[in-house]
Amino acid sequence: MKTGDMGVKTTTLEKALEWGRSNSLWPLTMGLACCAIEMMATQAADVDVARFGSEIFRNSPRQSDLMIVAGTTTKRMAPRVKRIYEEMPYPKYVIAMGVCVIQGGPYVDGYSVVMGVDKVIPVDVYVPGCPPSPQALTYGLITLQKKIRNETDR
């Protein structure tokens, strides 16, 4: 290696595509409640999520392939979440962040909260916690990247 001789690396086209896709995730933020603050902290310099190639958190579904649903999904918001998810181009992935999104959380008997966003849209990775720390969300992101990288194996 020191001589500059890099040798030959063989791979399949699928593997190369998966590698590229997993390391350039473009998140769409669905900041619905307090978890969104932790999501902003994940983006900030302290636990810089840009190290994992998912830097540009935008509020537009254009070009995005990852939706981070952060915060309590109310019944009134659920149709809007679904509509924005449908506007995203394929392939698309969803991270459910926080217990409210996973199963209702403290609002488990509430009249206004959806008991889990997986009733509305399919979820790939669940990040538990109330709210999850930025490190937990980063770990969820790495888990999703591993999942994308091994997609053809499954």
Q: Which of 25, 140, 28 is nearest to 80 (CA)?
A: 28
Q: Taking the complex as a whole, how short is the minimal distance between the CB of residue 116 and another protein, in angstroms?
A: 10
Distance of alpha carbon 85 from alpha carbon 97, whole angstroms:
16
49, 94, 95, 120: which one binds another protein (CB under 8 A): 120
58, 62, 83, 146: which one binds another protein (CB under 8 A): 83
| Residue 97: its H or E element | strand 93-97
Q: Taking the complex as a whole, how short is the minimal distance between the CB of residue 120 and another protein, in angstroms?
A: 5
Q: Which of 95, 92, 96 is nearest to 151 (CA)?
A: 92
For position 102 contacting another protein by CB under 8 A, the verdict is no
Rank residues 108 and 142 by Cβ distance to another protein and give the closer one: 108
